[in-house]
Structure 1
Amino acid sequence: MKNILLFAGTTEGRLLAEFLIHQPVRLHTAVATAYGASLLPSAPSMTVSSHRMNEAQMIDFIQQQHFDLVLDATHPYASEASANISGACTRTQVPYLRILRDCQTSADTSSNPIHPSEIFVDTTAEAVDCLNHQEGPVFLTTGSKTLPDFMKINNASERVFVRILPNAEMLTACMSLGLPASHIFCMQGPFDVGMNTATIQHICRLWEKDHPDSNLSETPLYMVTKQSGRTGGFDEKLEAAAQAQVPVLIIGHPVRENGLSLSESYHWLSNWIGTSPSESTAEQTVSLIGTGMCADQLTLEADRTLKNCDVIIGAGRMLQMAEHYHKPTFCSYNYPAITDYMLSHPEYQHFAVLFSGDIGFYSGAASLRRCLEGKPFKIEAFSGISSPIHFLNTLGKTWADVHLISCHGQTASVISHVRRHTKTLALLGKPDDAANISKKMIDYGLSNVRLYIGADLKQPDEQIISGSPADFLEQTFSALSLIYIENPNAEPLPVTYGLSDDTFIRGKVPMTKSEIRSVVLSKLKLTKNAILFDIGAGTGSIAIEAAQQIPDGRVYAIERNPDGLDLIKENSLRLQADNLTIVSGTAPESLDALPAATHAFIGGSAGHLKEILQLLYSRNPEIRVVITAITLETIGQIMALQKEMALPEPEIIQIQVSSAKKAGPYHLMQGQNPVYIVSF
């Protein structure tokens, strides 16, 4: 059995140890401190030492234990330690492999909303550019020579704090650049971890005092340092920053070394040991974690999972919440990309994916689950407190009978839901959503409803206010807000078709009568999220009744007659069909800019029936089409097109409706024109 010595003390070292304990090898892991040892996994095949060794001690240890391979996974700036390890391997003629940090050269934070623990740049100018993409305080430990360059940072006199030698000329130079005295620390080093940590904490207190509305978890302090080596106190700065949970901006990359990334070393070691990648990996776990509305709402179970996972994945806002775990991160909310990332990183045994609120309420967790189906992952679920539940409990409202919808990242026809439900709660997605919904409430005759807005819940600037729609017409709120609507006059949704003809304002435009409308809607077989085209909409009776039946769907009423267009608008407002879009024009030209329909009703084609059907079927071969006709010529054209275009076999019915009309003391039946209804 092969015998491996691993020098660790980093995340890469811990992950390599977790990988190697599952291999047919003996492993000894060496770290510098007891704390480093406490982070390592335990296994019968691995022993651990927790003290520093110089090169001579390493040579003795390698010779005594007869190691076959030495892995160096120490910190990228631990140049002295790496030199000792490499020298010991050369002296003992034992193979040496350096493990390189995958992301140690990334300085671009403008496209990454999270704050990595270490950012590396080559020059002071790059450091200034990086800090200009941040807004929080800056702690300069680079001395006074580069201070003029750092004063080019946005709002530098407010943000920059500098530590310099206790020299009168240096102090004067700093103040002449516009730094207030409270931002200048005149001190003589060397500085241990405790002094660095105390200085960071002092700066944070000063910042919070001068900026009471700031949030250092969102706009953290950045420590700026040069790669000064052990004698320059570099290690102490890094450790202090880690303890204070602040990122470090490092000027000067680590020594460029030859070696393998963690992913590459995984495959290299599999080949060296003689195992395949599939044999080398224990089952990977994916934890789907609902974070609630803030870090304080994480469950203890979720907290333990984040402490023990190998990598944390999520959108930038989620990763900010998890910075203090100091884990590798992957910033994305693209679920296929997340899946690809997991599959391409077999060195990680445990992925934690963060979602705001709860994972079961309009959460991306469902989309990620679908992407992971059939993949070799064990999936765990950890619930969080969703913002609707917190909001309703705060209002003292029971939520068992509340109708829940979301406008976040999608179009929701709020009016169509509110008119049918006494209690409706919607997640919002834009600052002006509350104002736009309030305006629609008034336009659609729902000005008597009661609105409750919840914004920035569980944040320092939380807002919970109530009022009528008129009270919110000019107000904006944070994008991630909620609106709770109580409508005491809600009307239950009818389970049958056929609104009375008197429900509609008719004018002189032809209208599909109630009985015919009932059959047409039945033949359309509308689905919950249907997209319906009503071509030749007339007064809009078909379109409006359909819209009422599918509040989660979308209806487009296409009409060329100006009088008809006016009637459709008037009827849609009167009957509160806000999921109906009116399109002025003639089909098929007016359909080009619309989404592909799932259903279509053609009540009038203006002589373009063939072109309309060609367009509808070219965009969706599975579309459901219903056509009404009153002439035999139209029926003949439909049948000819069915053969020419190889359309599905149609269902054809003819209906003639007779209704009673009072004539003196009698009721006489009056017949309407027979109507053909053709369904494909």
Structure 2
Amino acid sequence: MTSDRPVSVVGIGADGWAGLGESGRRALQDAQVVLGGQRHLDLLPATVPAQRVPWPTPLLPALPDLLAAQAGRRLCVLASGDPMWFGIGAHLVRLLGPGQVRVITHPSAIALACARMGWPVERVTVRSAVGRDLDGIRRDLVPGRLLLVLSPDAATPAAVARLLTDAGYGASEMTVLAALGGDGERRVDGWARNWSAEPGDPLNVVALRVAAEPGTRVLATVPGLPDDAFDHDGALTKREARALALARLAPTAGELLWDVGAGSGSIAVEWLRSDPATSAVAVEARDDRADRIAVNARSLGVPQLRVVRGRAPEALDGLPAPDAVFVGGGLTTPGVFDAAWAALRPGGRLVSHAVTLEGERELAAQAARRGGDLTRLSIERVAPLGSFTGWKPARPVVQWAVSRP
């Protein structure tokens, strides 16, 4: 859809028409068609003459055709609060281009919640549970963090309280802010461990001052989680080797990782924990291990990890092109490195580890063919030695790291 007149996107709050500024009211009065959720459309007075079209479900797949059907008409879209905060505004800009979208903002639920709590916005972490797995907030459970969770429904606060308690953060202070900015605005305070408030308004934000119970293990987002943070059967890239692998994989916001022969998924999980804007695919042939990867992803706060069950290289067909690849299993399977290298974006990084002679030979051959660095990693840990204490060496790991030109 293209037009010489941009689509207007008007943010509206719980206070409805009364809370809109002059520019928002003028855009709605001038529109021939107003698109929005039924709740938002119901906030408009009868004096707005436009045809009102409620969003279909699911919305995003239908959006291009819906916009095309309105081509040539003066179109206005209603959205909650600030349309660019987890809102429809970003989707419209992506579809139509920034020059075809005029956004008229309203104070967001985030801004209102921070104002009510007295929290500086720049210190607050925001996570949306609308259309997303609530387990994603596990990544953000760090003592002292100020966390806002955008709720999809009235049952979300109780679910957040259960999750926090199960994770060892039942001491967290919880505040539910409902119908922010409206006449029925309401606030409920308590603690996660004994949260008992009845479900209230479905339009709510959960404000958390995160606190850990005594003895709770705090997990950092930098690479190198303890090995026992993962459910595994031994198919695990160990802590120190994992940290070194991720240092060479160099996760960056917006980038995609393939974790090939993922085992427990530890590389993919830590890649995702490094930055919420990354994405990852874990490829694993064994069903029991694929199940463990999904469990690890949820328990460690990255439920968005995509798990592909199958054996490389066949299982790699059709996957989106990666910015980084880790090959942990199937090193000697013909075609694995060729398929990964062919798919890797220019400037992308490939890292692989070997602990067997056969695997080392394969990495040496690949390094001779494509360049890169070969590094031998040796780790020793203190352990009992009879009645004394000595160093016990772990099995050495050979790492190959290379960037594609």
Q: Which residue of 1 aligns with 2:204?
A: 481
SS across alignment from 2:374: strand
1:587 counterpart = 2:311 = yes
Counterpart position of 1:329: 51
Q: How does 1:18-417 map to 2 (within 5 A)?
A: 284=5, 286-295=7-16, 296-307=18-29, 309-315=30-36, 316-329=38-51, 331=53, 336-337=64-65, 339-341=67-69, 343-345=71-73, 348=74, 351-373=75-97, 380-411=102-133, 413-417=136-140
Tell me, yes or no, if the aligned pair for 2:297 and 2:305 is still in contact at 8 Å: no
Deviation at 1:460, TM superposition (A): 6.0
* In structure 2, distance between residues paired with 1:568 and 1:335: 31
Where does residue 378 of structure 2 map in the other structure?
657
Residue 653 of structure 1: how far off its partner (Å): 1.6
CA distance in 2, matches of 1:567, 1:362: 28
Inter-CA distance 609–601: structure 2 relative to 1 (3 Å threshold)? farther
> CA 1:491–1:661 in 2, change beyond 3 Å: closer, same or farther?
closer
Deviation (angstroms), 1:545: 3.2
Q: CA deviation at 1:367?
A: 2.6
Question: Secondary structure at 1:284's aligned position in 2?
Answer: coil
Whichever of the two has the greater Rg, that structure is 1
Kindly indicate whether the alpha-carbon contact (under 8 Å) linking 1:509 and 1:564 is maintained by their aligned counterparts in 2. no
Instruction: Return closer, same or farther for 1:311/1:632 CA change in 2, 3 Å cut-off.
Output: same
Superposed CA offset, 1:86-143 (max 9, x none): xxxxxxxxxxxxxxxxxxxxxxxxxxxxxxxxxxxxxxxxxxxxxxxxxxxxxxxxxx
Q: Distance in 2 between matches of 1:577 and 1:609?
A: 34
Cα distance in 2 for partners of 1:549, 1:420 equals 18
One-letter identity of the residue aligned with 1:526? P
Report the residue type matching 1:361 in the other structure.
W
Change (3 A) 1:507 1:455: closer
Distance 2:25 2:388 in 1: 81
TM-score (norm 1): 0.46
Structural RMSD (CA): 4.7
C-alpha contact (below 8 Å) 1:538/1:568 kept by paired residues: no
Contact kept? 1:420, 1:492, Cα under 8 Å: no
User: Is the CA contact 2:173–2:192 (under 8 Å) kept in the aligned structure 1?
Assistant: yes
Partner of 1:439: 162
Q: Percent identity?
A: 18
The 3 A distance-change label for structure 1 pair 461 and 595 is: farther
In structure 2, C-alpha distance between the alignment counterparts of 1:442 and 1:572, rounded to whole Å: 16
What is the CA-CA distance between 1:284 and the residue it aligns to?
A: 3.4
**For 1:305 and 1:571, how far apart are their aligned partners in 2?**
44
Separation (CA, whole Å) in 1 of partners of 2:268 and 2:69: 45
For 1:340 and 1:654, how far apart are their aligned partners in 2? 55
Displacement, 1:516?
A: 2.2
Tell me the CA shift for residue 357 of structure 1.
Answer: 0.6
How far did residue 631 of structure 1 move? 3.9
Q: 2:353 aligns with which of 613, 618, 628?
A: 628
Q: Is the 8 A contact 1:434 1:475 kept in 2?
A: no
Is the 8 Å Cα contact of residues 572 and 578 (structure 1) preserved in structure 2? yes
Name the aligned partner's letter for residue 545 of structure 1. Answer: E
Cα drift, residue 422 of structure 1: 1.0
Counterpart of 1:605 in structure 2 is: 330
> Relative to 1, partners in 2 of residues 1:435 and 1:537: Cα closer, same or farther, differing over 3 Å?
farther
8 Å contact kept, 1:610–1:641:
no
Q: 1:453 aligns with which of 167, 170, 176?
A: 176
Render the CA deviation track for 1:489-519: whole Å, top value 9, x for unaligned. 596956x544566x65799726434432222
The 10-residue stretch of structure 1 (391-400 or 424-433) with the greater mean CA deviation from structure 2: 391-400
Instruction: Give the structure, 1 or 2, with the largest relative contact order (CA under 8 Å, sep 6 or more).
Output: 2
| Aligned AA (2:64) | P
CA spacing shift, 1:650–1:434, aligned 2, 3 Å: farther
Q: What is the rounded CA distance, in whole Å, between the counterparts of 1:515 and 1:365 in structure 2? A: 43
> What letter is aligned with 1:382?
I
Task: Identify if the C-alpha distance between structure 1 residues 577 and 339 changes in structure 2 by more than 3 Å, giving closer, same or farther.
Answer: closer
Deviation at residue 417 of structure 1 after TM alignment: 2.0
Alignment coverage as a number of residue pairs: 382
1:523 aligns with 2:260: no
- Scaled by the length of structure 2, the TM-score of the pair is 0.71
The aligned residue for residue 509 of structure 1 is: 234
3-state SS of paired residue (1:517):
helix
Letter in 1 for 2:81: G
Write the distance in 2 (CA, Å) between the matches of 1:544 and 1:387. Answer: 30
Q: Structure 2 unaligned runs (5+)?
A: 56-61
531-540 or 450-459, larger mean C-alpha shift: 531-540
Q: CA deviation at 1:424?
A: 0.8
Contact kept? 1:291, 1:298, Cα under 8 Å: yes
Distance (whole Å) between structure 1 residues aligned to residue 285 and residue 172 of structure 2: 33
- Structure 1 residues 291 and 571, CA gap change in structure 2 (3 angstroms): closer
